[in-house]
A and B are shown apart, each in its own frame.
Chain A
Amino acid sequence: MDPEIVYNVQQGFFWDWKVALDLFLGGAGVGAFLVSVGLYEFWGRKYKRIPQTAAFLAPVLVGVGVLILMLKLGRPFHIFETFINFAPTAPLWWGGVFQTLFIAGALWYALLWRDLEPNPKRRKLGLALTPLALIVGGYHGMLLAVIPARPLWNTGPTVLAALAAFVTTGIAAVMLVHLIRMKLGGRLADPEHVQTFLTDLTPVRHVLVGGLILQLGTFFLWWQSLRFGDLADRTALAVANAGFGPMYWWLGIGVGLVLPIILGVAAVWKDSPEYNPRRLVWTVGVASCLILVGGFFFRLSVVLAGQLNPLYVTLP
């Protein structure tokens, strides 16, 4: 008979959907910022409207994420304690300080995008904020990965998956919001504008496909490291699968990664003999929604499942 252990400790999830939403929005915001800087600075500075959308989206997403996280705090009005104390060993402290700096910087950067004319100040600021964006993006993976008490999170691929997720969800958020912006501005009905949008999107689409494949790879690595890890790792994986397997596999991977890849391949394949811009726009919109939905449920399932691990406390 397996040992029966009774240990009555506080029940429930310590971190819930609000933490998952913060990780999701924070990651997508950082991704959006990098899309803005990357698309404008590293692809010949010919794209303007999409980087503009991305620039405005970045501080909003990260800011909303932080606000939602504050709702989770027991004493949200004491948040200033994070800024007046020095706690460099705590990822949350890094998150608090660097996310605040990033939001302020990204807001400034967005304001410099009010007009589409080249702006050297904007360029310098964008490049200066890029390392900060990467730190904030990394924080969203590190927050979970540095906790040995939670074997599901405490792996290297956790960080890699978070990095890949901020690339894919960031791009998806930018594409979706830009489509909505085009629709609202009446530009979606104009074939010339649609053509420009699709052309401008080409490098982003390539990065997105790379990100999706990278994300699938990191998920596989993650699964492998747990599946062939020690007893605690294997237990954590089994418990996570039993509790949140369907959410993770169907919504996180199926909806968020596999379907968008299939959609993209199908669109390119079908359109090869006869180019159909409207179908491509439709594909971009649907794929973006799927990536965002999947991205959120991936975060949610991981945050919750990581805490399911039974507190198997006993003596050796």
Chain B
Amino acid sequence: MAKRYGMVIDLHKCVGCAGCDIACKSENNVTDGFAWSNHILETHGTFPDVQFRYIPTLCNHCEDAPCVANCPTTAMHKSEDGLTLHDASKCIGCRACQVACPYGVIYFNEKAPHPRFMEDDEALIPGVTSTGQETAEASGAPIPYYNPARAETYPDIRPKGIVEKCTFCDHRLAKGELPACVDACPADARLFGDLDDPNSAPAQALAKHDSDVLKPEQGTKPRVFYIRDY
């Protein structure tokens, strides 16, 4: 039976370490300047009455995903498990998904990715330091922090001219593993699982606590929920 994957982020547990962001970058070979796993820093009030919020963000894998509805080639599509996925081979780089997404979680490769390693052929101090290309070559991979497992369901490194986004680590889910950001969270602030399974961690958390989603007025029905806002 198809699952209905979703994530719950416990804001009370989240310490704002950005470990999720880094884990995601490493797991998915995400290029400089892109952040499939991202965060909002929000400050209210005036000292001493100040409120600070750290809100982790990622693709919401919306049930009514506007990126899917506006993609002219069905490159953006919904999987059986409710993941919002991107078929890179179909993408024409029209950026309609970016325009339609209210959350700013889709990135477009305007230039070739990972320029620090793939294009850098000038050493900072010639004869002393290595160029980016030499560093990558020494690591035996296109980039030193390369993860070949990413290529199991999506291009390992997305080329110039197409968009890219969080996949809820579908390559890990296929092996029964949790998304990298969930695994990496030192505070166990992220709960991931089948929302239709009442015994799953996110379903139980949602049953116990009131929850919010980002921009509910957009009607996109996000599957990333936030609990215990403070």
Give the interface of A toward B (CB within 8 A): 1, 3-10, 14-15, 72-76, 78-79, 81-82, 85-87, 89-93, 95-96, 146-150, 232, 307, 311, 313-316
Interface residues of B in 177-222 (CB under 8 A from A): 212, 214-219
Q: Which residues of B contact A72 (CB under 8 A)?
A: 94
User: B96 near A: Cβ within 8 Å?
Assistant: yes
Q: Is the CB of A82 within 8 A of B161?
A: no
**How far is A92 from B212 in the complex, measured between Cα atoms in Å?**
32
Dominant secondary structure at the A interface = loop
B-side interface residues, number (CB < 8 Å): 57
Give the interface of B toward A (CB within 8 A): 33-35, 38-46, 53, 55, 57, 66, 68-75, 90-96, 98-110, 160-163, 212, 214-219, 226, 229
**How far is A91 from B96 in the complex, measured between Cα atoms in Å?**
10
Q: Which residues of B contact A95 (CB under 8 A)?
A: 72
Q: Known pairs A74-B95, A85-B74. 14 more at Cβ < 8 A? A: A1-B45, A1-B46, A6-B40, A9-B105, A73-B92, A74-B93, A74-B160, A76-B92, A81-B90, A85-B72, A87-B71, A92-B70, A149-B66, A314-B53
Q: Contacts A74-B108, A78-B92 known; A91 to B70 CB distance under 8 Å?
A: yes
Q: Which residues of B contact A15 (CB under 8 A)?
A: 95, 99
Instruction: Give the distance to chain B from A50, nearest Cβ to Cβ, in Å.
Output: 35
Instruction: Give the distance to chain A from B1, nearest Cβ to Cβ, in Å.
Output: 26
**How far is A87 from B92 in the complex, measured between Cα atoms in Å?**
14
Instruction: Give the distance to chain A from B153, nearest Cβ to Cβ, in Å.
Output: 19
Q: Which residues of B contact A85 (CB under 8 A)?
A: 72-74, 90
Q: Is the CB of B91 within 8 A of A78?
A: yes
**How far is A316 from B216 in the complex, measured between Cα atoms in Å?**
8
Q: Give the contacting residue for A150; candidates B45, B92, B99, B212; CB below 8 A.
A: B99
Can you offer 25 A-B residue contacts whose CB atoms are under 8 A? A3-B44, A4-B43, A5-B41, A6-B40, A6-B42, A7-B38, A7-B40, A7-B41, A7-B57, A7-B104, A9-B38, A78-B73, A78-B93, A81-B73, A87-B71, A96-B72, A147-B66, A147-B100, A149-B100, A311-B102, A313-B40, A313-B214, A313-B215, A314-B42, A315-B214
Q: Is the CB of A314 within 8 A of B40?
A: yes
Instruction: Give the distance to chain B from A6, nearest Cβ to Cβ, in Å.
Output: 4
